[in-house]
Amino acid sequence: MTNFRIRPLTSLAKVFPDEYPSYMESTSLTALKNEDCAFQVAFSGEYDNSRI
């Protein structure tokens, strides 16, 4: 069985393979018209007791 954990992060957050990142408190994004909006998504998982 596969279990995934997915977390939205700010674009400035650092993600390391051996640490579980803290996530954004709010999952909503706002931007003005014609403005860029940046974020990242971190995921990890297990497949048959092996880390992905």
- Tell me the per-residue pLDDT of 7-45, one tens digit each, with 9 for 90 and over: 888 888 888 878 777 766 666 778 899 998 888 888 887
What DSSP line would sit under 29-41, residue for residue?
----TT----EEE
The type of residue at 32 is L
pLDDT for the residue numbered 26: 64
Q: What is the reported pTM?
A: 0.57
pLDDT for the residue numbered 34: 93
pLDDT for the residue numbered 32: 92
More confident residue, 52 or 39: 39
Residue 22, CA distances (Å) to 9, 19, 40 in order: 8, 9, 12
List all residues 6 or more positions away from 31 whose beta carbon is below 8 Å from its beta carbon.
Answer: 37
pLDDT for the residue numbered 24: 63
